[in-house]
Structure 1
Amino acid sequence: MGKNVIKEKSFEFGVKIVRLSKALNSQSELVISRQLLRSGTAVGALIREAEFGESKADFAHKMNISLKQANETLYWLDLLVAAELLNEDNVCVEKSLSKEIIPMLVSTLKTIRK
């Protein structure tokens, strides 16, 4: 499989923006932490909301959004480390949990689609 150039470039761009933001504004960590909080807490909230989905399609939709939020959370964690706002040791537990949750959500979505 070849490189996903846009994925690599957009990540690199994000790192540069965070570093620039940090240099320009001491509130950069707060802004990112809010994004991380929003996406990280949405994962569980959406799973809980899906439990009482109005239909199979509604359940699948909420689980899919949860998957997207889990992936976004990994992005913010990676960004914090790559931008040297935190070191890898500070986020290893959260990243590990995200990497456990994501395959579970993928598996659930595959089962639903059968």
Structure 2
Amino acid sequence: MRNELIERTKQFGIDCWKFCFKVPKSREYNAFVNQLIRSSSSVGANYRASQRAKSTSDFIYKLKIVEEEVDESVHWLEVFEEILSEHSDEILKLQKEGKELLAITVASINTAKRNNLK
């Protein structure tokens, strides 16, 4: 599962980048594109960092960053869904993956917290 999540979180950033490449170039779109690329690429980098955590607290801290970044990515995808309806199929697939990664991350945080109390 660990290697699968490393790959999934990395692929999420790549897939968001590929979507952003298709977005029309303008000052208005570029602001949103930059935000989505930043947050989605951070998901994989921070998940990977969590796998090298030095303690349970460090692991939880790093996963909380993943949680924030994937949630922000889903937000920007929701914005794009409203303003670029011609790409809705691709956006909905990205949202689905983002929400799945978010759920997995939150579950991992909760499990780590429970295990840390024992």
TM-score by length of 2: 0.70
1:23-38 mapped onto 2 (5 Å cutoff): 26-38=26-38
Question: Secondary structure at 1:108's aligned position in 2?
Answer: helix
2:92 — aligned with what?
92
Contact 1:29 1:85 in 2 (8 A): no
Deviation (angstroms), 1:83: 3.0
Residue type of the alignment partner of 1:60: I
Mapped to 1, the partners of 2:86 and 2:34 lie a distance apart of: 15
Structure 1 pair 64–111 and aligned structure 2 pair: CA distance change class (3 A)? same
Identity of aligned residues (%): 25
2:12 — aligned with what?
none
Number of aligned positions between the proteins: 90
Mapped to 2, the partners of 1:35 and 1:46 lie a distance apart of: 16
Deviation (angstroms), 1:67: 0.6
Mapped to 1, the partners of 2:46 and 2:75 lie a distance apart of: 18
Residue type of the alignment partner of 1:80: F
1:71 — aligned with what?
71
Deviation (angstroms), 1:85: 6.7
Residue type of the alignment partner of 1:68: E
Deviation (angstroms), 1:112: 0.6
2:54 — aligned with what?
54
Deviation (angstroms), 1:86: 5.4
Deviations 1:17-57 (A, max 9, x none): xxxxxxxxx31111111100000011111110011112111
Residue type of the alignment partner of 2:105: L
Report the structure number with the largest CA radius of gyration. 1
Mapped to 2, the partners of 1:95 and 1:37 lie a distance apart of: 14
Contact 1:80 1:86 in 2 (8 A): no
Mapped to 2, the partners of 1:75 and 1:86 lie a distance apart of: 18
Mapped to 1, the partners of 2:73 and 2:86 lie a distance apart of: 15
